[in-house]
Amino acid sequence: MKRVDGCDLSLRSFSIKQCANPESNWTLFIKQGHDLNEVEEKHQDQKDHDVTGEKSVSCSIKKTDVKRPFSCSECGNTYKHKRRLMNPMRIHSEEKPFTCSQCGKRFTQKGQLKDHLVTHTSEKPFSCSQCGHTFTCKANLENHMLIHAGIKPFTCSQCGKSFTQKRQLKDHLVTHTSEKPFSCSQCGKSYTHKASLKDHMLIHAGIKPFTCSQCGKSFTKKRLLKYHSLTHTSEKTFSCSQCGRSFTQKGHLMDHLLTHSSEKPFSCSQCGRSFTQKGHLMDHLLTHSSEKPFSCSQCGRSFTQKGHLMDHLLTHSSEKPFSCSQCGRSFTQKGHLMDHLLTHSSEKPFSCSQCGKSFTKKRQLKDHLVTHTSENPFSCSQCGKSFTRKASLKDHMLIHAGIKPFSCSQCGKTFTRKANLKNHMLIHAGIKPFSCSQKSFTRKGYLETHMLIHTEVKPFS
């Protein structure tokens, strides 16, 4: 038996004695983490008691040994009223009679549909008095207020991490197991949560209920629309104190800050490689598996993740929706555009400690550092040629396989790499961007070789 502000609370019986505000006791009761079905029953019992006129002036209510003749055959929960039994029965049978007219999503209860309908409107009438954050329903605001109160009653028994809501703890517990029981019947992708599978199924159905009001682009999730909306504004409120780079979201800044740190807490158990983020480790683990279920129908190349295949498919398309405002160059992916924008900046925060050369990105510095060592850990099993990077070895293996997926539309010449095709296209365009005072070249390498003529260096003697 627990007492909160003079109220005795228990699972099968409860009493509220001499309380000035029954609603506050009700809120605290929920915060104690009691079973939702029990809470709903007790709240209904209180309302029934009030309606009969038996409520005393001192707000003294006491009910014990409540009869619950209606029992759920699936989970064993008991209920006082038959209508209360309908909700869990629908959950067990997966019956969802209430459908959203806008996106087609279905629900077991009418109240759930009502709450969902608010997501299709920008109205958020419930505002937090402490931080100004707004919410579509009062329950979400109440859950949010627990954050400011520092109340986290739900603790993980395995790692000790605490949460404000029972649902958050339930979602977290899945991270301690590799089990993914919910599989997609169409592509075989598995998920830890049923809700994640449902969101995924929208992709196969082609349903994108969330549309951008500015450009008309549609998305399967409201969260994706929210992220996309940030691209229409130049506001970047979160700045890195070390390199000055700005971000629209605090989470992105936090991820970026790890690039300035040598700390890599997530290590691969198979090869020992470490990562700054758990997501990067999960992606890396797939490289140790020979399974690549996602194949390109145009060139036959296979991938461990569907996202990688989707990125690859853009290389076969002429569509480049992301354009640079400074030079007009277009890209298939926003990430590539962001990388390109750094080339227009004179800022190069990553410097080599051995030769002093600076770079705009940490990855470029990492690739450069290999040039100061003779180590070539990635070797070709067919010809023995070694490479400093695994990606370079993969490109090289295409030569042995005879695969040249990139073709010139003008002369038909094929190439193993898209970069080689792009360099080749400069010949047809007559563009020679690399110039000596006397001669011009299509590639930087050609210019560097040519410059040796003006010196006494004879490397091939």
First-last CA distance in the chain = 93
**CA dist 105 → 111, 119, 367 (Å):** 14, 12, 48
268 within a domain of the structure (yes/no):
yes
- Is residue 81 located within the same domain as residue 201? no
320 within a domain of the structure (yes/no):
no
> Do the beta carbons of residue 9 and residue 3 sit within 8 Å?
yes
**Residue 98: helix, strand or coil by DSSP?**
strand
Would you mind telling me the total number of residues written for the chain in this entry? 461
258 within a domain of the structure (yes/no):
yes
Give how far the C-alpha of residue 18 lies from the chain's centroid of Cα atoms, to the nearest Å: 49
Can you give the pLDDT at residue 17? 38
Domain boundary among 91, 114, 144: 91
CATH value at residue 104: 3.30.160.60
- Is residue 72 located within the same domain as residue 154? no
- Is residue 69 located within the same domain as residue 110? no
- Is residue 218 located within the same domain as residue 242? no
- Is residue 32 located within the same domain as residue 121? no
**Residue 418's closest CA among 331, 326, 307, 293?**
331
CA–CA gap between residue 331 and residue 322 (Å, rounded): 5
Q: Which letter does DSSP use for residue 456 in this model? A: S
- Is residue 226 located within the same domain as residue 109? yes
CA–CA gap between residue 48 and residue 143 (Å, rounded): 26
- Is residue 33 located within the same domain as residue 59? yes
Q: Determine phi and psi for 384, rounding to 5 degrees.
A: 85, 0
122 within a domain of the structure (yes/no):
yes
- Is residue 22 located within the same domain as residue 123? no
- Is residue 130 located within the same domain as residue 227? yes
- Is residue 224 located within the same domain as residue 266? no
Q: What is the 3-state secondary structure (H, E, C) of 111-162?
A: HHHHHHHHHHCCCCCEECCCCCCEECCHHHHHHHHHHHHCCCCEECCCCCCE
- Is residue 151 located within the same domain as residue 206? yes
**Residue 441: helix, strand or coil by DSSP?**
strand
Tell me the one-letter amino acid at 39: V
**For residue 169, what are the domain limits?**
100-232
Residue 356 tokens, joined: 């002093």
Residue 160: partners with Cβ closer than 8 Å, 6 or more residues away: none
**Residue 28's closest CA among 48, 45, 6?**
6
305 within a domain of the structure (yes/no):
no
> Do the beta carbons of residue 304 and residue 287 sit within 8 Å?
yes
- Is residue 71 located within the same domain as residue 108? no
CA–CA gap between residue 332 and residue 66 (Å, rounded): 65
Q: Which letter does DSSP use for residue 372 in this model? A: G
311 within a domain of the structure (yes/no):
no
Q: How many domains does the chain have?
A: 3
Residue 268: partners with Cβ closer than 8 Å, 6 or more residues away: 274, 275, 281, 284, 285, 288
Taking only the tens place, the pLDDT of each residue in 25-81 is 334 433 444 344 444 444 444 444 443 343 333 333 344 456 777 787 777 778 777
Domain boundary among 247, 266, 288: 288
CA pseudo-torsion sign 64, 70, 72, 76: positive
Residue 77 tokens, joined: 């929960």
Q: Determine phi and psi for 224, rounding to 5 degrees.
A: -65, -40
Q: Give the pLDDT of the chain (461 residues) as one tens digit per residue.
A: 444 444 343 333 333 333 444 344 334 433 444 344 444 444 444 444 443 343 333 333 344 456 777 787 777 778 777 777 677 666 666 678 888 888 888 887 788 888 788 778 777 888 888 777 788 778 888 888 887 887 888 888 887 788 888 878 887 787 777 777 888 888 877 877 777 788 788 778 878 888 888 888 787 777 777 767 766 765 666 778 877 777 766 777 777 777 777 777 788 888 888 887 777 787 777 777 766 777 777 777 787 777 777 777 777 766 677 778 777 777 777 777 777 777 777 777 788 888 888 887 777 888 788 778 777 778 888 898 888 777 788 888 888 888 888 888 889 888 888 778 888 888 888 888 788 888 888 777 788 888 888 776 665 55
Q: What is the 3-state secondary structure (H, E, C) of 306-352?
A: HHHHHHHHHHHCCCCCEECCCCCCEECCHHHHHHHHHHHCCCCCEEC
Q: Which letter does DSSP use for residue 416 in this model? A: S
**Residue 321's closest CA among 206, 231, 221, 431?**
231
Can you give the pLDDT at residue 394? 82
Burial of 100 (0-12, 13-18, 19+ CB in 10 A): middle
172 within a domain of the structure (yes/no):
yes
**Residue 19: Cβ within 10 Å count:** 19
Burial of 300 (0-12, 13-18, 19+ CB in 10 A): exposed
CA–CA gap between residue 166 and residue 37 (Å, rounded): 14
Residue 262 tokens, joined: 């040598």
Domain boundary among 232, 252, 268: 232
325 within a domain of the structure (yes/no):
no
CA–CA gap between residue 249 and residue 133 (Å, rounded): 15
Can you give the pLDDT at residue 19? 40
Helix and strand element counts for the chain (H, E): 16, 32
